[in-house]
């Protein structure tokens, strides 16, 4: 059964409202940082032993999920692309740095890969990236992919800004070992309609990948960084007087 937009909006409002600390006799307390809003989807009747029912995909949302900052990326490139990346204030690694990294111990490579959410790689350097780092990038779903399956491989400086703009809106959805998907859909400071549009896009994408569409969705929750989890369910919302 398709998820009702009104229920999604009501649940989003509740998640944001319940992120505020309320105590009788005291002024409401709002945390001093811009909390992230997480979206959790529990699935059912999926056979993860079947590769066709697993998901490992970067998807582009309607709106940014990173506000007023740069995405946590590392650019692996040379020449003009490398220079442009440095001009944009991004972290970089060149050909020599990649070779040096390859000579490091396994734990150093693991730490490097875990440090960044995404990697943008110049196309001609991709063979060495695959050779040196694939065994570390692959299990984390961070192996750069060309368009349309991903956005991490570029061929000229103009592509770099396009990739950065995309990574402000990109989430990585992985369904491999457990029947649960948890992704960021925005920040509390964002317009609620923008967060709703991101959430709706994810629901529709997940349902479209499932063998029985919306019937494979067991439950859904919304949660701010420090807030209380809100179940997207009419009865639950009534129980907390929403």
Domain boundaries, the chain: 5-65+170-239, 73-167
Environment class of 87 (CB within 10 Å of its CB; exposed 0-12, middle 13-18, buried 19+): exposed
* CA atoms within 13 A of residue 198's CA, in its CB half-sphere: 27
Cβ neighbors of 82 (< 8 A, separation 6 or more) are: 75, 92, 94, 122
Q: What angle do CA 215, 188, 176 make, to 5 degrees?
A: 40
Q: How far is Cα 89 from Cα 122, in angstroms, rounded to an integer?
A: 17
Query: In this structure, which topology does domain 73-167 adopt according to CATH?
Result: Rossmann fold (3.40.50)
How, if at all, do strands 180-187 and 36-43 pair? antiparallel
Largest CA distance in the chain: 63
pLDDT of 25 reads 58
Output the pTM of the full model.
Answer: 0.86
Query: In this structure, which topology does domain 5-65+170-239 adopt according to CATH?
Result: Ribulose 1,5 Bisphosphate Carboxylase/Oxygenase (3.30.190)
pLDDT of 146 reads 86
**In Å, what is the CA distance from 75 to each residue of 108, 124, 146?**
18, 13, 14
pLDDT of 147 reads 79
pLDDT of 29 reads 65
Residue whose structure tokens are 């110049």: 122
pLDDT of 3 reads 84
What does the radius of gyration of the chain's CA atoms come to, in whole angstroms? 20
Phi, psi (rounded to 5 degrees) for 235: -65, -40
**In Å, what is the CA distance from 29 to each residue of 13, 19, 26, 108, 198?**
17, 9, 8, 41, 27
Residue whose structure tokens are 């060149």: 94
pLDDT of 27 reads 61
Q: How far is Cα 19 from Cα 70, in angstroms, rounded to an integer?
A: 25
Please identify every stretch of the chain with a pLDDT value under 70, giving residue numbers as ranges. Answer: 1, 21-29
Nearest by Cα to 9 from 227, 168, 198? 198
């Amino acid at each position: 059964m398709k998820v009702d937009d009104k229920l999604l909006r009501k649940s989003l409002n509740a998640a944001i409202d319940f992120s505020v600390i309320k105590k009788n006799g005291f002024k409401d307390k709002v945390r001093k940082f811009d909390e992230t809003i997480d979206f959790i989807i529990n699935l059912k009747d999926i056979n993860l032993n079947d590769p066709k029912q697993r998901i490992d995909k970067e998807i582009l949302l309607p709106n940014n999920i990173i506000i007023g900052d740069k995405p946590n990326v590392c650019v692996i490139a040379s020449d003009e692309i490398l220079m442009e990346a440095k001009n944009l204030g991004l972290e970089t690694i060149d050909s020599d740095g990649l070779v040096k990294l390859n000579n490091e111990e396994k734990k150093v490579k693991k730490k490097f890969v875990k440090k960044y959410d995404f990697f943008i790689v110049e196309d001609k350097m991709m063979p060495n990236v695959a050779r040196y780092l694939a065994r570390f990038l692959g299990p984390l779903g961070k192996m750069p992919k060309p368009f349309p399956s991903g956005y991490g491989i570029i061929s000229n400086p103009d592509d770099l800004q396009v990739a950065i703009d995309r990574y402000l809106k990109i989430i990585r959805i992985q369904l491999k070992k457990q029947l649960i998907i948890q992704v960021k859909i925005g920040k509390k400071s964002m317009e609620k309609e923008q967060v709703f549009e991101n959430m709706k896009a994810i629901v529709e994408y997940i349902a479209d990948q499932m063998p029985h569409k919306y019937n494979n969705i067991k439950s859904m929750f919304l949660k701010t960084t420090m807030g209380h989890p809100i179940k997207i369910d009419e009865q639950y919302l009534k129980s907390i007087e929403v």
